[in-house]
Structure 1
Amino acid sequence: MTVVDVVRDTENLTLTFVAEFAAPVERVWQVWEDPRLLERWWGPPTHPATFELLEVEPGGRAAYFMTGPEGDRFHGWWRITAVDAPRGLAFEDGFADADGTPSDAMPTTSALVTLEATDSGTRMTTVTTFPSLEALEKLSEMGMEEGMRLAMGQIDGLLAA
């Protein structure tokens, strides 16, 4: 399986995913930079993503929605805070309404993605930082950990294509 480790750290308010891929760093970077590739894995298989906007540059934005099995749409946004292509990026991630307006009812998280070359390909480490323990618990209860495992599990197929 792609994801080799998940660490939930309530003291530091982080959820860390470590995944390994049999592909070079530059190829793995493409699954973050190319909106058509990103939308093929960002949501879990039952909730595929559609990226309406993706600006992979410092200060850039992303707007997307995931479509559930019943056709329900769940909107989200990113604010890109740093890019070090092809080694990683950082962004704020939050929920939005159908118009793309960020939701105050749900927590905003910060994500740091690091891509490192290994002897067999690439290790991708994604650290999500939460604003509070309550936010970490809330998003965990909503299935964030399992959803990210399933989502990242789709990357191997994209890299093989």
Structure 2
Amino acid sequence: MDLTVTRTYDAPPERVWAALTDGELVRRWWDPDGFTAPLARMDVRPGGASLVSMRSPDGFELYNTWTYGVVDAPRRLEYVLRFCDASGRPVPPSSLGLPADIPADGVPHELTLTPSGGGTELTVTERGYGTAETVQLSRLGLEQTLAKLAAVL
């Protein structure tokens, strides 16, 4: 099952792109409400991999790698998000207490940025979830992070 969320920002595509790819900016928005993002080590290039973390209010840290396929600034970004440990080694999402139907080999993400009335329409698609419940859980987190992105812009 796939998830698609679209949001329009009052910022040009180049500024939205920077917020999606610059580690200092990613740290300001990459996390659902109540979480922080202490680490965003970005390597945004085809074949590159970023390491990003989020910390829960009680101090539990989750790590992801984002391994890039398409990097077409400032229009399109495709990567596979994988859960991992602090060193970037993949771990099964279920071992972190996450739903078992999150694909262990990663969740493909496609981001498109389209100029729109002086701003930018950002569409995020996540692919491969096993149940509607997991899609809804991911939607909640994604919508919260995209709201934080608006504040950064």
TM-score tier (shorter):
0.7 to 0.9
Greater relative CO, 1 or 2 (CA 8 Å, sep 6+) = 2
Larger fraction in strand: 1
TM-score (norm 2): 0.85
- Is 1:116 the counterpart of 2:114 in the alignment? yes
* 1:49 Cα offset (Å): 1.6
Q: Distance in 1 between matches of 2:142 and 2:47?
A: 24
Aligned with residue 50 of structure 1, among 20, 38, 62: 38
TM-score (norm 1): 0.81
- Is 1:151 the counterpart of 2:149 in the alignment? no
- List gaps (5 residues or longer) in structure 1: 1-12
Number of aligned residues: 143
- List gaps (5 residues or longer) in structure 2: 95-102
Q: How does 1:1-40 map to 2 (within 5 A)?
A: 13-40=1-28
Distance 1:105 1:22, change over 3 A: closer
Q: Look up the equivalent residue of 1:153 and give its one-letter code.
A: A
Distance 1:17 1:38, change over 3 A: same
Deviation track 1:103-152 (CA, whole Å, cap 9, x = no partner) reads 1355211001000001141100011111xx52x546336x2111111110
Report percent identity of matched pairs.
29
- Asked if the contact 1:51–1:62 (Cα under 8 Å) also holds between the matched residues in 2, the reply is no
Distance 1:85 1:138, change over 3 A: same
Q: Distance in 2 between matches of 1:105 and 1:91?
A: 17
Deviation track 1:43-65 (CA, whole Å, cap 9, x = no partner) reads 11311223342111000101121
Indicate the SS of the match to 1:50: coil
Deviation track 1:22-74 (CA, whole Å, cap 9, x = no partner) reads 11111111111211111111111311223342111000101121100011111
Q: Distance in 2 between matches of 1:50 and 1:69?
A: 12
Q: Distance in 1 between matches of 2:41 and 2:132?
A: 29
